[in-house]
C-alpha cells in the first residue's frame, strides 16, 4: 500500500512539473510571437532631436523578419519643403537602435513624392523664354531677354536686347549669351518689362 502511495505521489510531482514546463514554454512562445509595436512608418522623417534643418533620415520600409528599418538621408528643396535624396543608397538598422538614437519625429511625406537628386523637382519659374526683364521697371533699353531655362543646372540663359527706333523690341548686337542661376536672375532682375517671340529676335540692327 505504501508503495502504491509513493508511486502516486511521484506521478503527481511529475505531472505538476510537466504542467509548469508547458506553461513556461507557452509563455515564451507567446512573447516571441507578440506583434511588434513600430514607432515609425514608411515616409516618416526622423532625427536625433527636433529640428527644422536638413539633412534628416527618411524611413523607407520595415522588415518584420529581421526587425529592421530601412532608412535613407533626405534633404529639403530650396523652398523649404521635403524632399529629395542625393542617391539611391539606404541603410538597414535594428528597430530598437533607430527608435533609441533617432527619437524625434519631424514630419511625414509620401514616398512616391521623394525624388532622387535636387534637379528632380522643377521649381516654379518666374520667367519664360521671351520675357524681357531688368533691375527696375523701365521703358528704356538695353534690357535682358530670357532665351532658355536649364532644369539640370537651374539656370536661365539671357542676352542683352535693344529696341528699334520705332520703340519695339528688339534686336541683339551679337550672339553672346549669359547663363546665371535662377535665384540670382529672379532676385537681381525682378522687373518684368515685356514679352517677345524669341524666334523674331534678330542679331544686329535690321533697317
Write down the pLDDT at residue 188. Answer: 96
Q: What percent of the chain has pLDDT over 70?
A: 80
Q: Is 162 exposed, middle or buried (0-12, 13-18, 19+ CB in 10 A)?
A: middle
| Domain of residue 51, residue span | 44-120
C-alpha neighbours within 13 Å on the C-beta side of residue 180: 15
Q: What is the mean pLDDT of residues 25-37?
A: 59
Write down the pLDDT at residue 60. Answer: 97
C-alpha neighbours within 13 Å on the C-beta side of residue 190: 3
Q: Which of 138, 110, 121 is nearest to 41 (CA)?
A: 110
Report how many domains make up the chain: 2
Residue 19 lies in a domain: no
Beta strand 82-85 with 115-116 is parallel
Domain final residue pick, 90, 120, 150: 120
Residue 38 lies in a domain: no
Q: Do both 139 and 198 map to the same domain?
A: yes
| pLDDT above 70: residue 9 | no
Q: Do both 115 and 50 map to the same domain?
A: yes
| pLDDT above 80: residue 35 | no
- Asked whether 160 and 146 are in contact (CB, 8 A), the reply is no
Write down the pLDDT at residue 108. Answer: 96
CB count within 10 Å of CB 5 equals 9
C-alpha neighbours within 13 Å on the C-beta side of residue 118: 10
Residue 160 lies in a domain: yes
* Residue 26's pLDDT band (cuts 50, 70, 90): low
Q: How many residues does the chain have?
A: 207
| pLDDT above 90: residue 77 | no
Domain final residue pick, 55, 89, 120: 120
Write down the pLDDT at residue 53. Answer: 87
Residue 101 lies in a domain: yes
Q: What is the mean pLDDT of residues 83-98?
A: 94
Alpha-carbon distances, residue 202 vs 48, 65, 156, 165, 198 (angstroms): 58, 67, 20, 14, 9
- Asked whether 58 and 73 are in contact (CB, 8 A), the reply is yes
Q: What is the mean pLDDT of residues 98-109?
A: 96
17: left (phi over 0), alpha (psi -120 to 50) or beta: alpha
Residue 141 lies in a domain: yes
More confident residue, 27 or 171: 171
Residue 10 lies in a domain: no
Whole-number Å distance between alpha carbons of 169 and 95? 64
- For CA atoms 115, 118, 119, 125, give the dihedral sign: positive
The string of DSSP codes covering 152-176 is TTTEEEEEEEEE-TTS-EEEESSS-
Q: What is the mean pLDDT of residues 119-141?
A: 85
Written as nine digits, the cell of 55 is 539633412
Q: Do both 49 and 116 map to the same domain?
A: yes
Q: What is the mean pLDDT of residues 151-170?
A: 92
* Residue 158's pLDDT band (cuts 50, 70, 90): very high
Q: What is the mean pLDDT of residues 84-94?
A: 94
Is the model's pTM score more than 0.75?
Answer: no
Write down the pLDDT at residue 80. Answer: 83
Residue 32 lies in a domain: no
Q: Do both 116 and 49 map to the same domain?
A: yes
pLDDT, the chain, mean: 85
Amino acid at each position: 500500500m505504501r508503495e502504491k502511495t509513493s508511486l502516486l505521489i511521484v506521478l503527481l510531482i511529475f505531472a505538476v512539473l510537466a504542467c509548469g514546463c508547458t506553461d513556461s514554454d507557452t509563455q515564451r512562445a507567446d512573447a516571441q510571437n507578440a506583434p511588434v509595436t513600430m514607432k515609425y512608418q514608411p515616409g516618416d522623417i526622423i532625427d536625433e532631436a527636433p529640428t527644422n534643418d536638413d539633412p534628416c533620415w527618411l524611413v523607407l520600409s520595415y522588415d518584420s523578419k529581421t526587425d529592421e528599418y530601412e532608412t535613407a538621408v533626405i534633404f529639403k528643396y530650396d523652398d523649404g519643403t521635403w524632399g529629395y535624396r542625393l542617391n539611391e543608397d539606404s541603410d538597414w538598422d535594428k528597430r530598437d537602435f533607430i527608435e533609441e538614437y533617432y527619437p524625434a519625429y519631424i514630419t511625414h511625406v509620401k514616398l512616391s513624392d521623394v525624388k532622387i537628386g535636387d534637379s528632380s523637382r522643377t521649381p516654379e519659374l518666374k520667367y519664360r523664354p521671351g520675357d524681357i526683364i531688368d533691375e527696375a521697371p523701365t521703358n528704356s533699353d538695353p534690357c535682358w531677354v530670357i532665351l532658355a531655362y536649364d532644369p539640370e543646372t537651374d539656370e536661365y540663359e539671357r542676352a542683352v536686347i535693344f529696341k528699334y527706333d520705332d520703340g519695339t523690341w528688339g534686336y541683339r548686337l551679337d550672339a553672346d549669351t549669359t547663363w546665371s542661376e535662377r535665384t540670382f536672375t529672379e532676385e537681381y532682375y525682378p522687373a518684368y518689362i515685356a514679352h517677345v517671340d524669341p524666334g523674331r529676335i534678330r542679331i544686329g540692327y535690321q533697317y
